[in-house]
Amino acid sequence: MAKIIKDIKKLKYLKIKNKIHPWLENKIQKIRTLRERQAYRSAKRWGTPAGVALILVLTLYSFFLPKDRFQFARERVLKNPKDLEAHLILAEEFLKNNQLEKAEKELIAAENIQKLIPNDQQVLGLTSKLEELYLRWQEENPKELKKLISKWEKIISENPNYRDGYLHLALYYFKLGKKEKAKENLSKALDLDPNYEPSKELEKIIK
């Protein structure tokens, strides 16, 4: 249940704006590109030798800048393609930036690596993280979101008084842009528990 509460808070925080466009793969590359452009402009002004020298200085300087989490993970994967934790970090970073295809590739890689690890050697935290990230990927992917809705519709049909089931459906339908279906399921959740705070928060967002 903590997951759906977190999702509702996230929707409230974003104020239902359009999804943020993916940013450049990492800050270091962005800085390096900027430095190179600055050097190129300087080269045109000061002449080729000075420009080349400036490119070298600025490029070397960029190597001393702190690396971000994404770059560390990418370097780890290059050194060891079977680094499960590094693939999970990359998947999480791609999900943050709505790069769903890249996130899916990292999740598939992580899942394949995990299958090769004997059960008694698996790290529980990494297994849980893989499941959590896979669910996040599903919730951001319209096709997968429809599968989640089908799953929860089935659960509700078997447990018609399951408040959290209706709340999940309300959230997922809203993410799909089906506002009336979202309202319908939210209304059932509120009928079952009018004072449940997450339901009241989602009601404010939908309206």
pLDDT of residue 107: 93
Closest CA to 181 of 159, 156, 198, 144: 156
Amino acid making up residue 16: I
Assigned domain for 124 exists: yes
Residue 107: CB atoms within 10 A of its CB come to: 22
- The span from the CA of 165 to the CA of 186, in Å, is 10
- Number of domains the chain is built from: 3
Domain endpoint, select from 39, 65, 91: 65
Mean pLDDT of 60-66: 51
- The span from the CA of 95 to the CA of 92, in Å, is 5
Same domain, 76 and 131: yes
The string of pLDDT tens digits covering residues 128-147 is 999 999 888 988 888 889 99
Assigned domain for 103 exists: yes
The string of pLDDT tens digits covering residues 8-39 is 666 665 554 444 344 434 444 554 455 445 54
The string of pLDDT tens digits covering residues 81-115 is 999 999 999 999 999 998 999 999 999 999 999 99
∠ CA 26-30-36, nearest 5°, is: 145
Domain endpoint, select from 45, 65, 85: 65
Task: Specify the residue for token string 């008694």.
Answer: 120
How buried is 157 (Cβ within 10 angstroms: 0-12 exposed, 13-18 middle, 19+ buried)? exposed
- The span from the CA of 50 to the CA of 98, in Å, is 41
Q: Is the pLDDT of residue 51 over 70?
A: no
User: What global pTM score does this model have?
Assistant: 0.60
Average model confidence (pLDDT) for the chain?
A: 79
Domain that holds residue 50: 27-65
